[in-house]
Structure 1
Amino acid sequence: MKAQDIMVSNVICVDMDERVPEVKNLLQQHGFHHLPVTENDRLVGIISDRDILRLVSPFIDSVSEQARDIDTLNRAAHQIMTRQPIRVKADTPVTEILTWLKKVDISCVPVVDEEDHVIGIITWRDLVNHAKF
């Protein structure tokens, strides 16, 4: 089995300059946990919901909110993304993807073509859904 056999191919990506509120909204609206970040349609990073949780002040929309808390929302995707994410090609064997997920402690890998355009994404959930026990 290869990456192309289990990847989700309708991938929503965000531009490097997209602001945190829009990234957060996309994650919540679609129930995603990861968003690839692109520049000129090429993969340059990935943002997870955990990255957003670490960044955004817990005081937003509370009585304790201050200007510095609101500033956390003004950051761009390129400021919070993981740069140079591990990526795979469509013909990468699933066993290799599993090895990467375990070795590097990540929960998804983008699938790219020869020009680094995102053509899919594989999460640990996709692997579990396709597992044969």
Structure 2
Amino acid sequence: MHGSLHSVDDVMTRTVVTVRRDTPFKDIAALIEERNISALPVVDDEGRVVGVVSEADLLLKEEFRDSDPDRFTQLSRMSDLAKAGALTAQDLMTAPAVTVHDGATLSQAARIMARRKVKRLPVIDSTGSLVGVVSRADLLKVFLRDDESLTEDVRHEVVDRLFPLCADHIQVEVSDGVVTLTGWIDGGALVPVADRLSRAIEGVVDVRCHLTDGTVRSASI
């Protein structure tokens, strides 16, 4: 995979299976099974995301099928019990939906997934309309970037910008996504910055920063 992958728009799936508020329970279950997906966005007539129906939402009907919930369960799981009796997406869905904008970085999308404990995020544009879906697997695509493109990015975005006067004295090597920086620079204050910026490049697995302070080197000669 060549080129930079910086935003959700670069990795998302653009063909999205959706349902409407009035889509019946059995149709939703069939779509999830047929398409082998864990959740479906619910959209309105304008294509805006109004909620999400997941496998977990559907399974509540099975969980409470033969049960007689006690008072504590009725109070603590009121929403789940309501979904267990749902017949359409309107009553099944979780709303508002957890979404991400198409211009968000991959790191931002990953943080949303982790914090909200979801595996897939509907992707929306500036008007709130659905434009795609991004999954955990999509976010991992960034680590398929080849070493050559990562080398170019580190050279351009880190070395050339931070050390324009001594860039020729710095070597950038990338092997299996691991960046190694060697050489000497004028002053060591920017070494931690170089390390941090290199790690921030999408697709970098690790950074080994072995830059030497050239001013100390010169003083010791």
Instruction: Give deviations 1:74-127, integer Å, cap 9, x for gaps.
Output: 611010111011211111001111111111211111101122211001111222
10 and 73 in structure 1: CA distance in 2 versus 1, 3 angstrom threshold: farther
Which stretch shows the higher mean deviation, 10-19 or 118-127? 118-127
Q: Which has the higher contact order (CA 8 A, sep 6+)?
A: 1
Instruction: Give deviations 1:2-32, integer Å, cap 9, x for gaps.
Output: 0001100000110011011000111111111
1:100 to 92, 97, 112: 112
Match in the other structure for 1:121: 133
Match in the other structure for 2:48: 42
If you compute each CA radius of gyration, which structure gives the higher value, 1 or 2? Answer: 2
Structure 2 residue runs without a partner (length 5+): 1-5, 67-83, 144-202, 206-221
Match in the other structure for 2:102: 90
58 and 129 in structure 1: CA distance in 2 versus 1, 3 angstrom threshold: farther
112 and 7 in structure 1: CA distance in 2 versus 1, 3 angstrom threshold: same
For normalisation by structure 2, the TM-score amounts to 0.51
Match in the other structure for 1:20: 25
Counterpart-to-counterpart distance in 1, 2:115 and 2:63: 31
Q: Aligned-pair RMSD on alpha carbons?
A: 2.0
Match in the other structure for 1:54: 60
Match in the other structure for 1:111: 123
Counterpart-to-counterpart distance in 1, 2:64 and 2:111: 35
Secondary structure of the residue aligned to 1:83 is: coil
1:8 aligns with 2:20: no
Counterpart-to-counterpart distance in 1, 2:142 and 2:64: 37
Q: Once the 2 structures are TM-superposed, how far is the Cα of residue 57 of structure 1 from its aligned partner?
A: 6.0
18 and 104 in structure 1: CA distance in 2 versus 1, 3 angstrom threshold: same
Match in the other structure for 1:79: 91
Q: How many positions carry a matched residue from both structures? A: 122
Counterpart-to-counterpart distance in 2, 1:55 and 1:83: 18
Counterpart-to-counterpart distance in 2, 1:28 and 1:76: 17
Aligned identity (percent) is 20
Question: What is the identity, as a one-letter code, of the residue corresponding to 2:59?
Answer: L
Question: What is the identity, as a one-letter code, of the residue corresponding to 2:19?
Answer: V
CA contact (8 A) 1:34 1:108 kept: yes
95 and 31 in structure 1: CA distance in 2 versus 1, 3 angstrom threshold: same
Structure 1 residue runs without a partner (length 5+): 65-71
